[in-house]
Amino acid sequence: MRQQGTNSQPWSPTSVLFLVLQCVYLVGLWELGEAVCVPSTGCDTAYAFYRVQANENLTTISQKFQTTAEKILAANPGIVDTNYVVIGSPLYIPFTCDCFNDQLLHNFQYVVQSSDSPYSIATFTYDNLTTESWVGTANSLPDVHFVITGTSLDVPVNCSCGNPTVTSDYGLFLTYPVLEGTGSNLNGIASNFNTSADLLRKFNPSVLWTDFQPTQYAFIPVTDRNGNYPRYIGDKNDAGKSTNTGVIVGAAIGGTAILFILLALVLYFLCVLQPRKRQKLGDLLIIKSSGNQSRPASEILQSHSTLSKTSLIIPGSASTGSTRLSDYAIDRSVEFTYEELANATGNFSVANKIGEGGFAVVFYGVIRGQKLAIKRMNLQATKEFLAELQVLTHVHHTNLVQLIGYCTTDYLFLVYEFMENGTLDYHLHSAKAAEAPLSWSSRVQIALDAARGLEYLHEHTRPSYIHRDIKSANILLDKDARAKVADFGLTKLTETKIDGNLATISTRVVGTWGYLSPEYATFGEVSPMVDVFAFGVVLLELLSGREAILRGSLVEEVTPSGTALPKEDQTRSLVKYFDPVLKAPNGRDKLPKFMDPALGDNYTSDAAWKMAQLAGACTQDLPDKRPNIRKAVVALMAMSSATCEWEIGAFANHRATDTSGS
C-alpha cells in the first residue's frame, strides 16, 4: 500500500477529473431528458467485422466471441470449407446487442493469456473492435496498460440496432473498425458496403470522417444472408428517441457550459494537489556488499568508486531534463535475490551464457518453473539499467519483451521472459541460417510483429518512446517464431510535440552503425523516424539475408549498366547495396538477385517487391519522406494476407501434382 504525506489531500487529480466528467454527463442528461437505449432492450442480432488471425479456425473464433461455428457460417454464406478459413479474410461475427448502463454494447468474456495487455487484447485479439481505455474502464483496472494473467475480462464492443429518427428501413448493423490506410474514407466505405455516404453520416453523427483514429468505429447497415435489409424493430415510442450515439453527443453538447467552469477546478487540483508518493528505487533496491552488509542502492551507488556523481543523472526526463536514481519508481517488478539468480544459472556458468554485449552478459535460467533470460550488467551501466526499467515497467505489449524483475548486488540484474528461438540476427546471419532458413511467411510475420511493437512505443504510450537501437540482434523470436522488440537501454523518452507530431530532439549519438539514419548519425537529431529508418534496414536483412554492413568480399555492387565492380576490401551499407533495386526503373526485375539464396524460389515475388519498396521508403535520406510506423504496419498486414493466399495456392498445386502423379 502506498503511503501519502501527512498533509496529503483525500482527492487525487484523477478522481477530480472523473467527478468533472460525471457532472458534464449528468448535466447533458438533464437537458436532454432520460437517456435510454434504442430499442430499450437492444436487439437479438448485430454483426462485428473481424479478420481471421494466424492459427485460427471457426471453432476458436466462435469460442472467442461466445457463439457457435454454425452461427458464423450462417452469417457468412461465402465460406466453402468449414474446416479452414484464410488468414486475413473478413468475417461477420453475430452477437446480441444489449442495453447496458443506457448504452448499446456487448461484453465478451476473455481470459488473459501470458504477455497479454489491454492494448494487445483490444488491438489484436479483438481486431480493433474495442479500445484499451474501454477495456480498462469496463473492468475498473487500476492501470489501463496492465492486467494479470488468468484474469477474466469484459471486452466491450459497441453496437447499433438502428435509428428510427433517420429511417426504419434498416435494422441490422455491422460494427466496423475504421483503420487508417485501409480505404477508410467515407466514400470508400460506402462503396465497399453498397450503401450511401449520406446514410453513413446520418447513422454515425459522432464519427469525424475527415480525422480518422486507429480504433474509431462506424455502424454500417448490412443485409441478411438472403441479401435483404431487415427493417428496424423496436418499441412504438422509439421514433421520438435518438440512438445511444446521439445521446452521448447531446450530453456532451449540453454539458459544454459547465465544462469550462469545472475545467478551471481540474487545473487547480492538478497543479495544487500533491501527487501520491511512490516507492523510490533507492528505497526498494538493496545492494549486498562483500562484507554481507546491506544498504540502500542509492547510498552505495553514489559512493561507488567507479561512478561519478554525474553518472547518476539520466538525460531525458519529461519534467526536469534529468532523473536521479533516488527519483525513479518501480512498478510491478519482482525483486529477485542474488542467490536465486546464481542458482538458476549454475552460478553464471559459461554453459548458461546465451548472449553478450558491451556492458552486459545474458544467461539462461529457470526460477519457480519459469524460463528466464537474466541480464547481468556492471555498475557503470546504471543509465542503461534505469532506462530499461523506465520503459518496461510502464509499457506492456505482446510484441515487446516482458520484464519480469530485477536484482542489485555488486552487479545490476534485469530478468526477462525467455525467448526460445533467440535473435533474428542469429537466424539470418549465422550458420543456422543456411541449414534451416526462415521461411518467407515467417519473415513477413516477424516484420509485422516488430512493426507493431514499434507502433505501440511511438503512438500508444504517453509519453512516447523512441528505441534508438532497432536492429536484427534486438528482435527476439519465441518458440513459434513470433517476434518481440528487446533491449531498451538506449530508449529515449519523448513527450514534446509540435502541431500534434513528435518533435525532433538533439542528443548524443548512440546505436549501431548500419542502422543509423543520416540525420541522427550526422546531427544527433532524434525522432520516431530514427526507428523507422532502422526498421527499413531490418526489412532489407529479411529480404537478402545479409548484414547491415557488408564487408570484404561480400561487397558486391552492380552499376546501372550491369558491369560488376572489382571486389575490394571495403565496407558498404546494406541500404547502398540495394540502390540498384530501389533506385533503378527496372528494380523489380533485379530484385531476385538480391534475395536471400537460402529462400530459393519459395517466396511470392509481389510481396517481396512490396517489402523492398517499403524498405526503400523507410530508408529515405530525409526523415519527412519516410512513412510513420503505423503505415508500415498497414502495408505489412496486406503483405501477410497476400503471402498466406500464396502459400495456400502453392499447397493446393502441390497436392494436385501429387494426386496426378499417383
For residue 590, the 8-state DSSP code is H
CA distance 448 to 161: 36
> Residues annotated as binding site for ATP?
375
CA distance 643 to 620: 26
Dmax over CA atoms of the chain, in Å, equals 86
Q: CB neighbours of 27 closer than 8 A, spacing ≥ 6?
A: 251, 254, 255, 258
Of the residues 154, 238, 469, 487, which is catalytic?
Answer: 469
> Residues annotated as binding site?
375
**469 a catalytic residue:** yes
Nearest to 265, CA basis, from 40, 557, 13: 13
The grid coordinates listed for 431 are 550458420
In degrees rounded to 5, what are phi and psi of residue 202?
A: -70, -35
Between the two ends of the chain, the Cα-to-Cα distance in Å is 71
For residue 113, the 8-state DSSP code is P
Query: Does an H or E element contain 74, and which?
Result: helix 69-75
155 neighbors 108 (Cβ within 8 angstroms): yes
Nearest to 364, CA basis, from 376, 349, 374, 379: 374
Residue 326 Cα distances to 4, 14, 323, 465, angstroms: 17, 25, 8, 22
* Neighbouring C-beta atoms of residue 417, cutoff 10 Å: 18
User: What single letter denotes the amino acid at residue 358?
Assistant: G
Torsion angle, CA of 379/384/389/395, rounded to 10 degrees? -170
CA distance 622 to 245: 43
329 neighbors 281 (Cβ within 8 angstroms): yes
321 neighbors 315 (Cβ within 8 angstroms): yes
Active-site annotation, residues: 469
